[in-house]
Structure 1
């Protein structure tokens, strides 16, 4: 098998998900940093391979794969254990629904390019941006809290797609100081996942380039 390369930015929520999936599956990979703040993602060399100009991108088996959910789905097919998505259709749909509450309903309107656009050209302040982020995270977390298990993590004995999506989004919640008192189950799950070695190794603070 040829070398697997993850094009990554340490604070990218989507890239964080892929790091977690790779770590949980024990897949070795090399990192190529794409600095989103400096605009590396818009370079001609990068967009030639990834026209959206986003991270993550995973080079694997001769393919350049983009979009975190598509990458994780490929990894599930390529490295089946542990599964991020169940094989049973109904169980798979339930996990996807919970994960998509984060992937589709919170993250896209909380990411860097969105809040940069709120600032320029719409002249919103950093306080406005944080309020915006809190609003969408609170809305999504309120629904997810109801779906969360009373004990253990979303995946039961093994973290699943919802768990890795929650962990990546919780990094933003902590970074932008969202109060979690209204979401005790999510806070408990996040703390439990934080003790897992695969999750520790993927944390942005652990892997931030010097």
Structure 2
């Protein structure tokens, strides 16, 4: 079976999928799509023909193209269920998805590259103002996630005692928080969970610094 992932080393969305593939032991060919070079290779005609959304990641699995990181992760979970990333219990699954969506649906969409580029381009904001935007919305999102983790006492995994899709989403976002110099002191549970997870093999091999296109 041919499996190909269109990825960018620093994309948190692509990192989620790389981590899931690593966790499940699934081989794949990585094809880098540089989000800044050549005006953004994700906007090139050949890539748009593959993924009309013009974003990374995109997964080609057995000839089928799938876009959007959460859709890809759920697809991989359903098609390759072992080892699992969703608990057997329905309530626990809902909690996992709630935390995953807090990152992927609330924080990420208003803090991603094209939003920052629009702030600094057509809207005329400075780089520091755009970074302040990023840190503000990241802090708003982290406040809710921290409260959820504190309520359950989580310091190793987001939910329960095993890796889940919530963890897959959290670790790349914490990496971005450090890149943008967000003060993480108010989020001790997030920091503790990240410290436990980040050195697990699935995150180590999928880390941005471990990618062939890393800069």
SS at match of 1:77: helix
**Distance in 2 of aligned mates of 1:204 and 1:152:** 22
Q: Structure 1 regions of 5+ residues with no counterpart?
A: none
**Hey, what's the Cα distance between the residues in 2 that align with 1:30 and 1:158?**
27
The residue aligned with 2:56 is 55
Using a 3 Å threshold, how does the CA distance of structure 1 residues 142 and 208 change in structure 2: closer, same or farther? farther
Alignment equivalent of 1:204, drawn from 205, 208, 211: 208
**TM-fit CA distance, 1:204:** 0.6
Q: Equivalent residue for 1:137? A: 138
Within the alignment, does 1:159 sit opposite 2:163 as a pair? yes
Residues 1:37 and 2:41 are matched in the alignment: no
TM-score normalised to the size of structure 2?
Answer: 0.93
Q: Distance in 2 between matches of 1:151 and 1:57?
A: 32
- Describe how 1:1-210 pairs up with structure 2 within 5 A: 2-38=1-37, 39-148=40-149, 149-209=153-213
Where structure 2 has 5 or more consecutive residues not aligned to the other structure, the ranges are none
- Quick one: distance in 2 between partners of 1:135 and 1:107? 12
In 2: Cα distance, 1:150 partner to 1:75 partner:
26
CA RMSD of aligned residues (A): 1.2
CA distance in 2, matches of 1:7, 1:206: 16
- For these two proteins, the number of residue pairs brought into alignment is 209
**8 A contact 1:82–1:158 mirrored in 2:** no
Assess if the C-alpha contact under 8 Å between 2:35 and 2:42 holds in 1: yes
CA deviations on 1:165-203 (whole Å, 9 max, x unpaired) are 010111110111111000001001111111211111111
Q: TM-score, normalised by structure 1?
A: 0.95
